[in-house]
């Protein structure tokens, strides 16, 4: 209304979505480095201020296009900083077996808000004006803040200094690079979002240009998608008890591809609404499966960063897919593009099928606390390093193959918990003597590694130790890098 041109409208949309993409990783690191409850309180207060300012200025008639853009950008920044911490607290509020249902409910709420919100906002605007709608939106943040004030979060304290943001992002990247379930989630998310984004990108054009729907009819069409998501959240727990998460994702992806392939073939409004109900249900089943796989397979110390990588791939896939299908639609038309996207979904499913999500929900990722504090004669400073840790094993020749297989898994465990480099060596003079080594960035990072080891990691270490000869004790040594004196000129 204040700047009815395509450029300004698109800039407002960019101000909302761009911060989420650019700040996902720093926000994920913040969610792991500082108290998540306090971070969410801060971001909710930030968004309350921005929404309240927008409402007051609009009521006073002082809102200009550039002021609207600035306040929208502030809301986008708050959303970006809030999102990883918001999702990371789910496992702290419900039992592990209830995480998939909690994630599905959270996703359903989002889809309902996206579907009903514009209609409700339009109703309020029609009755009381834009300013009142903005002020009511601001009050919604107050409710969230009151709940957070009354939430007594239990958190294990650590005597170590907090990680630095850049280092925390680097550690998070190493974790994701060596976590098989996380890699499966990211590959499958990218394959799905690139294909599925065609629906979100082209549905407005399909409704307006091809079907000639009114704004109200289009709103009901989008509402059908949200209704399907709610129905999906209701039936998802029952379905999950009968099929694995991988089967759930495969069947839901095929259903979504079927919906895409049928949309261009029908012009009956009721049929289109029915198809979008199915699309909403399958959409929720897929994304909640991805999200809950991250929540259940990742330990608390890195959960915010893992979710940030997931969000980065999700929004990146949606943005890239929208651009791709928009370009294709300009060449071959809307109908052919939507059909092509359904084929693309099936192709993506074939390429990513080997990346398995199953097993993450069974992993015990709680801290084990079984690593003893290193014995040192001279206490290193926290920043000293890097630290080289060596572990000497005695392996009989007939156990070598099984030992090597177990060590391959242990390598991933070491890298996930903070190691920068890992190696396994055999003594050429004594083939039974094997030495594992891994390098950690600093002394304090190695102490953090002690706190990060999970029960699942401990079980893996026990498997490796079962191949070690009991005739000799396990030998663990810590080496600290010693700087050389400067060269004399």
204 domain-assigned: yes
Same domain? 137 vs 279: yes
> Tell me, what's the pLDDT at 306?
96
**CATH code, 465:** 3.30.70.100
Rounded Cα distance, 200 and 458, in Å = 45
> Tell me, what's the pLDDT at 329?
86
Same domain? 278 vs 406: no
Same domain? 337 vs 422: no
> Tell me, what's the pLDDT at 7?
52
Q: Is the pLDDT of residue 15 over 80?
A: no
pLDDT bin (cut points 50, 70, 90) of residue 12 is: low
**b/e map of 332-349 (b: 16 or more CB within 10 Å)?**
eebeebbbbbbebbbebb
Same domain? 358 vs 391: no
Q: Which residue has the higher pLDDT, 97 or 477?
A: 477
Rounded Cα distance, 357 and 286, in Å = 12
374 domain-assigned: no
DSSP 441: S
**CATH code, 97:** 1.20.1250.20
Same domain? 193 vs 300: yes
Closest CA to 57 of 66, 48, 67, 47: 67
Q: Which residue has the higher pLDDT, 96 or 186?
A: 186
349 domain-assigned: yes
Tell me if 51 sits within 8 A of 327, measured CB to CB. no
Closest CA to 28 of 305, 310, 439: 305
Query: Which has the minimum average pLDDT: 171-185, 360-374, 464-478?
Result: 360-374
Tell me if 268 sits within 8 A of 276, measured CB to CB. no
Q: Which residue has the higher pLDDT, 114 or 445?
A: 445
Average the pLDDT over 164-170 and give the result. 93
Same domain? 281 vs 402: no
371 domain-assigned: no
Same domain? 344 vs 407: no
Q: Residue 460: how many CB atoms within 10 A of its CB?
A: 19
Mean pLDDT of the chain: 87
* Strand order from edge to edge, sheet including 430-440: 419-427, 430-440, 387-394, 475-480
414 domain-assigned: yes
Average the pLDDT over 101-119 and give the result. 72
Average the pLDDT over 59-81 and give the result. 83
pLDDT bin (cut points 50, 70, 90) of residue 411 is: very high
Give how many domains the chain has, as a whole number. 2
Q: Is the pLDDT of residue 22 over 90?
A: no
The pLDDT > 90 percentage for the chain reads 45
Query: Which has the minimum average pLDDT: 195-199, 303-307, 407-411?
Result: 195-199
270 domain-assigned: yes
35 domain-assigned: yes
Contacts of 227 (CB under 8 A, 6+ apart): 115, 277, 280
Query: Which has the minimum average pLDDT: 130-134, 153-157, 377-381, 475-479?
Result: 153-157
Same domain? 324 vs 393: no
> Tell me, what's the pLDDT at 462?
94
Q: Which residue has the tokens 């052919």?
A: 336
Q: Is the pLDDT of residue 2 over 60?
A: no
Q: Integer distance in angstroms from the first to the last C-alpha of the chain?
A: 72
What are the pLDDT digits (tens) for 240-282? 888 889 999 999 999 999 999 999 888 888 999 999 999 999 9
Same domain? 335 vs 405: no
Same domain? 74 vs 204: yes
pLDDT bin (cut points 50, 70, 90) of residue 6 is: very low
Q: Is the pLDDT of residue 344 over 90?
A: yes
pLDDT bin (cut points 50, 70, 90) of residue 119 is: low
Rounded Cα distance, 224 and 212, in Å = 18
Same domain? 392 vs 353: no
Same domain? 18 vs 76: yes
Closest CA to 140 of 52, 63, 31: 52
Q: Which domain holds residue 48?
A: 6-151+164-362
Contacts of 141 (CB under 8 A, 6+ apart): 44, 45, 47, 48, 51
Q: Is the pLDDT of residue 9 over 60?
A: no
Contacts of 131 (CB under 8 A, 6+ apart): 55, 56, 58, 59, 60
Most confident of the ranges 224-228, 267-271, 276-280, 469-473: 276-280
423 domain-assigned: yes
Domain boundary residue among 347, 362, 377? 362
> Tell me, what's the pLDDT at 69?
80
Contacts of 458 (CB under 8 A, 6+ apart): 368, 370
């Amino acid at each position: 209304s204040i700047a009815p041109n395509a450029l300004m409208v698109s800039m407002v949309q960019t101000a909302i979505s761009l911060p989420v993409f650019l700040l996902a990783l720093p926000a994920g690191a913040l969610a792991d480095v500082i108290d998540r409850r306090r971070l969410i309180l801060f971001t909710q207060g930030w968004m309350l201020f921005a929404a309240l300012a927008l409402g007051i200025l609009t009521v006073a008639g002082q809102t200009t296009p550039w002021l609207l853009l600035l306040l929208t950008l502030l809301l986008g920044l708050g959303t970006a900083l809030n999102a990883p911490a918001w999702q990371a607290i789910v496992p702290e509020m419900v039992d592990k077996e209830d995480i998939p249902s909690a994630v599905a409910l959270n996703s359903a709420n989002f889809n309902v808000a996206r579907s009903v919100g514009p209609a409700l906002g339009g109703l309020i605007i029609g009755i009381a004006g834009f300013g009142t709608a903005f002020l009511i939106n601001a009050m919604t943040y107050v409710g969230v803040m009151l709940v957070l004030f009354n939430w007594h979060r239990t958190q294990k304290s650590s005597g170590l200094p907090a990680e630095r943001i850049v280092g925390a992002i680097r550690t998070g990247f190493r974790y994701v690079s060596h976590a098989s379930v996380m890699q499966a989630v990211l590959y499958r998310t990218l394959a799905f979002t690139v294909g599925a984004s065609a629906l979100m990108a082209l549905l407005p054009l399909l409704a307006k240009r091809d079907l000639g729907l009114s704004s109200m009819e289009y709103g009901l069409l989008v509402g059908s998608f949200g209704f399907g998501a709610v129905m999906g959240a209701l039936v998802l727990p029952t379905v999950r008890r009968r099929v694995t998460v991988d089967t759930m994702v495969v069947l839901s992806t095929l259903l979504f591809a079927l919906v895409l392939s049928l949309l261009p073939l029908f012009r009956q409004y009721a049929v289109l609404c029915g198809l979008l109900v199915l699309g909403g249900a399958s959409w929720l089943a897929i994304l909640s499966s991805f999200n809950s796989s991250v929540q259940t397979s990742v330990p608390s110390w890195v959960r915010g960063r893992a979710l940030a990588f997931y969000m980065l791939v999700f929004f990146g896939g949606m943005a890239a897919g929208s651009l791709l299908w928009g370009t294709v639609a300009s060449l071959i038309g809307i109908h052919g593009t939507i059909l092509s996207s359904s084929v693309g979904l099936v192709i993506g499913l074939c390429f990513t099928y080997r990346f398995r999500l199953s097993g993450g929900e069974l992993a015990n990722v709680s801290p084990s606390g079984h690593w003893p504090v290193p014995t040192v004669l001279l206490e290193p400073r926290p920043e000293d390093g890097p630290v080289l840790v060596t572990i000497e094993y005695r392996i009989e020749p007939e156990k070598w193959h099984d030992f090597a297989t177990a060590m391959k898994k242990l390598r991933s465990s070491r890298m996930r918990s903070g190691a920068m480099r890992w190696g396994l060596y055999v003594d050429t003079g004594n083939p039974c003597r094997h030495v594992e080594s891994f390098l950690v960035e600093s002394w304090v990072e190695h102490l953090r590694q002690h706190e990060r080891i999970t029960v699942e990691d401990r079980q893996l270490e026990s498997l490796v130790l079962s191949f070690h000869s009991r005739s000799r004790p396990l030998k663990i040594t810590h080496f600290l890098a010693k700087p050389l004196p400067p060269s004399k000129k």
